[in-house]
Amino acid sequence: MRYVLSIVLSLCAFSAYAQTADTYTRHLRQQKAGAGTVTVTQDAEIEALVNNEATKKKEEKPPLAGAKQEKPAHRQTPERRLGMTGSRQRYKAKGYRIQIFTGGNSRTDRQAARRMEQKCKKAFPELSAYVHFVSPRWICRVGDFRTREDANKYLHLIRKAKISNEARVVSCTVLLAY
């Protein structure tokens, strides 16, 4: 009997605490003697997320007939995430790029890779350029080629233009147009 009574009292105490308990951010904002003050400034959606409360979706009005809806410029659309910007839609596939710079892991090597990228873009604006850090070195690669033959054609042009002495074709994942 004592066991049942202790459980009932525990449940009553817990339910009374649950009814008076505040959310996490309200608990932080409470002023206590001898303690500092916490100021939390945030959006209502973040407040609901932090406090594990359900958010109420805003009711949207239906668009007017013939009205153009614009997407915000800062939002990352699925098309941009997949590399499908502009009029060309692109997909990832195995292909080839031309590696025109290989450096070390210093800041000067990173800057040299960026300079090589700009130099190649100036001479061949139709080629995409990519600067990556592949541990332990900075590399600069250009182009998105489906076949090694296509890459070799540009490799000869890059060597002829004397953009890079170390230019070579490498196999990697590339973005190809549909």
Give the CATH number, domain containing residue 125: 3.30.70.1070
Question: Is 78 domain-assigned?
Answer: no
Residue 138, number of CB atoms within 10 A of its CB: 23
Q: How many domains does the chain have?
A: 2
Residue 75 lies in a domain: no
Task: Look at residue 98 in the predicted model and tell me its pLDDT.
Answer: 96
Q: What's the domain range around 158?
A: 90-177
Q: What are phi and psi of 177, to 5 degrees?
A: -80, 150
Show the CA angle centred on residue 83, arms to residues 77 and 87, nearest 5°: 85
Per the rule left: phi > 0, alpha: psi between -120 and 50, beta: everything else, 52 is left
Which ranges constitute the DSSP H helices of the chain? 2-20, 24-29, 44-50, 78-81, 107-123, 148-160
Q: Are residues 99 and 46 in the same domain?
A: no
For each of the chain's 178 residues, which pLDDT tens digit applies?
677 667 766 665 555 555 444 677 777 777 778 777 777 777 778 777 777 776 444 445 555 555 555 544 444 445 444 444 455 678 889 999 999 999 999 999 999 999 999 999 999 999 999 999 988 999 999 999 999 999 999 999 999 999 988 999 999 999 888 7
Report field, pTM of the whole predicted structure over 0.85: no
